[in-house]
Amino acid sequence: MTVNAGPAPDLDSVQSVAGAIHRAISTVIEGKEHALRTAVTVLLAEGHLLVEDVPGVGKTMLAKALARSIDCNVSRIQFTPDLLPSDITGVNVFNQDTRTFEFRRGAIFANIVVGDEINRASPKTQSALLECMAERQVTVDGSTYELAGPFLVMATQNPIEMEGTYPLPEAQRDRFMARISMGYPSGAAELAMLQSHGEADPLGSLEPVTDGETVQRQISAVRRLHTAPALREYVVALVTATRQHPSIRLGASPRAGLHLLGAARANAALVGRDHVLPEDVQALAPAVLTHRLMLSGEAQLTGRTTADVVSDILQRTPVPSGRR
Amino acid sequence: MRFNLDRGLWPEAGLAALATLTVAWPLTNLLREGDWIGPAILLVLLVAVVGAVLRSLDADPTLVVLGQALAVLGALVWRYLSDTLMWVVVPGPDTLDRATELLREAGRTLQSFAAPAPTNEGVEFLIVSVLALTAVSVDAIGVTGRAPATAGLPLAAAFLVSVSNSGRAMDPWFFAAAALAWLLMVAQQGNRLVSGWSSADRRESVGAHDVSHGPSGHRTVARVLAVVTVLGALVLASVVPHLPPTFFAEGLARDPDGRSVGGSGQVSFTETMDVTADLHDQSDDPVIRFRSPSRPLQPLRVTATNEYDGERWLPPDYDPGPPQAPQLTPGTSPQAAMADELSLQVAEMSVLSNSLGAPHLALPGPVLSVTSEDTTMQWDAELAAVRVSERPDTYQVSFLQVAQTGRVPDGVGDAEADPGEWEDYLQVDPDGEAALSALADQVVGDATNDLEVANLIQQHFRSGLYTYSLQLAPGAGGDDAISHFLQTRQGYCVQFATAMVMMARQQGIPARMAVGFLPGELQANGSFSVVVSDAHTWPELWIDGLGWTRFEPTPGIRSGPPPPYSELNSGAGEEVPTVTETATPTGVPTQQPEGTAEDTSWWEDLQDFVRSAAPILLRALVVVVLLGVLMAVVAIAGRRHRESVLRHAATPQERIEGQWELLKRSLEDYGIDPPPDRSPREMASHYVTAARLDRPTADAMGRATTVLERARYADASRTQDTDDTTMHGDVMRVLDSVSAKLPWNIRASAKLFPRSGWHYLRALPGRLLRR
């Protein structure tokens, strides 16, 4: 049985487009291969990306660089405590001339939305993103507006322990396909950064390497990638394992499974492989699963992290061979 | 062919040679002279050097062993059989005969001498050959085959042979030295193995284990373990009561009736008696159990000998009469030679169990008849001994006994024996003659009657001047055995009897040594039990009118009280001796014409050998066949298990899965377990590490993995029909490479007793039930 229909995906094109984007971002962000790769993967898998780290390590820079490298509609929202949901989604404004209400689009109407410091807005405002991110549409005053593809929300946030932050609600977190963490750059990368950023703004010289339409084509190519039944079993087994793990209070949702499979597909496509391997799933599982899991009280007290649990689950879950 | 010193494994070869020589050390106790030591050391070293040189030349293991065997053969022929060679190097027709002769000589010597046996050329040839062959097998298994632990088997076998048969407890040093030598072999091999591990592997151990220890940590653990093992073995051996090594060699409690618990089914009888040696064998192995109403019980006589070489009594030359079965009667009636007035009674003895090995039979004397259903008997008239073809389990004897109330008739012993007729029985040991004659003058005085002289001599030895002891007095330097005994007056039956025989001969009375057993102990059930330590020897003197007459010069516990009839005697100072045998010895023993026997002997020998060995061979054959069947069953089951997925495969994908399963299960047979339920790539990387695959093999493994991934995870159209064949090639390449790097024993066990075979057989009942 096969779930994938249509012609074989053009993986060379996927690889070349993704490679170009990757190279472009690399000129701005140095020494963060893994983060960059995950970002491109999420873009191709049609997901949304959450970048979480302490201030000043280049979260926003990454988001902006990715947005700038693609010639498409980009908007940026600075989340602040007084930001209103309508600032994001848009609002109906009464036109005095026509004497009708006109819809004024919010910042979300773009191909790439950079949401900076998303957890500084109140949960109410954060929730405005729920519908757009999951359903790629906006409903205001009973009218629904479709969002054009590609659509990628890249949000950055500070760790929740920081001053003036609101934790993202579970539903919000679940809508992000992956969460990555930048981490401090290595000494050499930091030196190089001081040098390049001192002379000129590298972001300023970053030219788009592709356009939104091309990216959308790659996304649909990735979507057609073959996934074997054994592999899908593996994804389900992993997701189920998070729900049964003793250290976990809230396991991964079915959406997490979809996201994991999608991300694995993109990962395979990035290396030009037309089928997904357990290794693709394993490579993306930490980024896709950790931010959705909630540790039990005991596990928190013992100092375990969700990353530990995911690694434990990966270690223990058998890889189905598909043979009966 | 390049010479590589490192590949020769010289230190290992040296240690193997050392181990072989160490297990041969106890042989110094079994053999009197050390003539064999030099050649043995040279030959063992030769084996080591030849092996190491051939290995250095990267010769095939079979060639190495062959080379060593040839070197040993050459050296043995050159050393012992060189006079039979043609043109100095080619073995001639006599070579094999000579070798057989040497081995026969060795066999005779080892059979007829108690330890320590003299080292003649035959014995030396045998010992050196066996040691050299042991060295070859130890080197082949331990060094060439790189299984030093298994090399302990030939070492243990050689050790068992060399420590057993001395009749004494094993010297702990022998064991400690042998164990140490073997452990050194194992340690050296382990050391080489560990130091061969690459540094990459060392880094891999970061994690659960403390990497700072690494291989050197293992080495310390191994050393501690080795020391603890050796110490433990020594302590255990000294604390736990143990059995003499012969028990292991001969097997425990083989007697089906359980009568001889702890002993073998058979007691072999040594006819040689060494006058100069201490007595060691105090074994309680049963020899005979019998019932007899006759009292007093006489010693059971086995044979007699008259040849003395200055140190020991040699086995007699037998000249048996025609075979008789099932009842044997002596050629001449024993009564014929007896003095008419002697009051004689016919007595009976019934042997309930007999462990004395053929051809010997223990009998009271003089014998009237022997009845046994189990064997064919022959009567040796001169020695008054019965020879049997097989050991009878039971037999009945009727014999003559001098009445306890009788007295010796007048005139007995008056006539002198004719020195011409009795020449063989009158030879006095020339070394001891002076001492004997001095003592005889003192003891005998002017008595002339042979019986009176004999009684005087017997009384002298029983008089309390002599001490009965299994240990001889320390050597007085340069003295011959008899003078030494007469001077130190300490010894056991052999010395007493020898002295009496010689003194009687010196006085002109024909005399010989009789060998047999004391009548043993009365058991609760009324039977008598004779054990090995009841072995006894006594003099028999030819007294005119009585024939061969038993005397008992040995005092003390071993021989019991003096013959009871001496107390019944009528005060004349004369004992009534027991008459043991009366057949008149013929001056010239009649010899069988030997021509025909010689011609057919080898064929008969062979037939005899085949006949006697047939049951053992048959049993061995059955065991071998069973083992072969078992091997075949497991091997076939293993093949079925390994190929089961492949056999049922219908699609190309299934065939590829089958190939992977074949790889997985074959590697499991080689001892490389698969990680449980991992992805193909993880498994491949596990195999690359666990089996230390080299680059080309790892590439083959990578290709096989890619094919599997494509079959398992990609669209069905991506798998081609030829993928299966390509993958099979890669799988075989991996398996061949892994197998080539394994030691031969693991390879052999993977082929003969594969784990997959056991899996299959274990799962078989369930599978059949489901069906």
Question: Which residues on chain B are in Cβ contact (under 8 Å) with A226?
Answer: 713-715
Asked whether residue B741 is assigned to any structural domain, the reply reads: yes
Do the domain assignments include residue B715?
A: yes
Interface size A-B, in CB pairs within 8 Å, comes to 48
User: With an 8 Å Cβ cutoff, are A274 and B712 in contact?
Assistant: no
Q: Which residue of A has its CA nearest to B676?
A: A318
Whole-angstrom distance, CA of residue A4 vs CA of residue B525: 96
**Pairing relationship of beta strands B385-388 and B286-291 according to DSSP bridges:** unpaired
Q: Is the pLDDT of residue B597 over 50?
A: no
Residue B202: inside a domain, yes or no?
no
B23: phi then psi, degrees, rounded to nearest 5:
-70, -15
Give the chain A residue whose CA is nearest to the CA of B660.
A321
Residues B523, B635, single domain; the answer is: no
Look at residues B762, B763, B747 and name the one whose alpha carbon lies nearest to residue B666: B747
Contacts of B715 in chain A (CB under 8 A): 2, 4, 226, 274-275
Residue B72 shares a structural domain with residue B187: yes
**B684 and B542 co-located in one domain:** no
Per-residue confidence (pLDDT) for residue A257, from 0 to 100: 94
Which of A171, A208, A181 lies closest to A72, judged by CA?
A208
CB contact under 8 A, A275 and B678: no
Q: Say if residue A239's pLDDT is above 70.
A: yes
Q: Which two tokens stand for residue B217?
A: 């940590």
By C-alpha distance, the chain B residue nearest A275 is B714
Identify the pLDDT of residue B594. Answer: 39
Which residues of chain A are within 8 Å of residue B654 when distances are taken between CB atoms?
A: 323
Q: State which residue of chain A sits closest to B681, comparing Cα positions.
A: A279
Range of the domain at B671: 625-770
| Interface contact B712-A4, CB threshold 8 A | no
**Domain A9-224 is found in CATH 3.40.50.300:** yes
Q: What is the 3-state secondary structure (H, E, C) of B369-402?
A: EEECCCCCEEEECCCCEEEECCCCCCEEEEEEEE
The answer to whether residue A318 neighbours chain B at the CB level (below 8 Å) is: yes
The pLDDT tens digits of the residues spanning B440-453 come to 888 888 888 888 88
The answer to whether residue B561 scores a pLDDT higher than 60 is: no
- Report pLDDT for B477: 55
Strands (E), B169-294: 273-274, 286-291
B286 shares a domain with B164: no
Out of B645, B676, B712, name the one closest to residue A228 (CB).
B712
Residue contact B677–A274, C-beta within 8 A: no
Helix ranges (DSSP H) in chain A = 11-26, 33-44, 59-69, 85-89, 123-126, 129-135, 170-175, 187-199, 212-223, 229-244, 254-270, 278-289, 297-301, 306-316
> Residue range A211-220: average pLDDT?
89
Cβ-based contacts of B710 with chain A (< 8 Å): 275
In a domain, B137, yes or no: yes
Of A214, A188, A211, A207, the C-alpha closest to A28 is A207
Element of type H or E holding B713: helix B695-713
Residue B592 lies in a domain: no
pLDDT tier at B571, thresholds 50, 70, 90? very low
Q: Taking all residues of chain A, what is their mean pLDDT, rounded to a whole number? A: 87
CA–CA distance, B749 with B727 (Å, rounded to integer): 26
Q: Which fold has domain A225-324?
A: Helicase, Ruva Protein; domain 3 (1.10.8)
State whether B170 and B120 are in the same domain. Answer: yes
- The overall pTM is greater than 0.80: no
Give the chain A residue whose CA is nearest to the CA of B682: A279
- Establish if A279 touches chain B: CB-CB under 8 angstroms: yes
Q: How confident is the model at residue A11 (pLDDT cuts 50, 70, 90)?
A: confident
Average pLDDT over residues B467-471: 78
Nearest by CB to B714, from A226, A282, A323: name it: A226
CATH of the domain at B665: 1.20.120
What pLDDT shows up at residue B215?
55
Q: Per the domain annotation, does B532 fall within a domain? A: yes
Residue B189 lies in a domain: yes
In chain B, which residues have their Cβ closer than 8 Å to the Cβ of A276? 713
pLDDT tier for residue B204 given thresholds of 50, 70 and 90: very low
Per-residue pLDDT at A5:
44
Looking at the structure, tell me whether residues B304 and B355 fall in a common domain.
Answer: yes
Based on the domain organization, do B106 and B24 belong to the same domain? yes
Co-location of B289 and B412 in the same domain: yes
The residue of chain A with its CA nearest to that of B645 is A323
What's the confidence (pLDDT) of residue B556?
66
Q: Does the pLDDT value for residue B517 go beyond 80?
A: yes
pLDDT at site B169: 64
Domain check: are B67 and B123 in the same one? yes
Residue B749 pLDDT class (50, 70, 90 cuts): confident
Residues of B with CB under 8 A from a CB of A: 645, 654, 657, 676-679, 681-682, 709-710, 712-716, 718
Of B525, B555, B585, the position where a domain reaches its end is: B585
CA distance A297 to chain B (A): 28
| Chain centroid, CA B266 distance in Å | 14
Do B685 and B763 share a structural domain?
A: yes
What is the amino acid identity at position A35? A
The number of domains in chain B is 3
Q: Are residues B225 and B308 in the same domain?
A: no
Residue pair B151/B141 in contact by the 8 Å Cβ criterion: yes
Domain ranges for chain A: 9-224, 225-324
| Contact list, B702 vs chain A (CB under 8 Å) | none
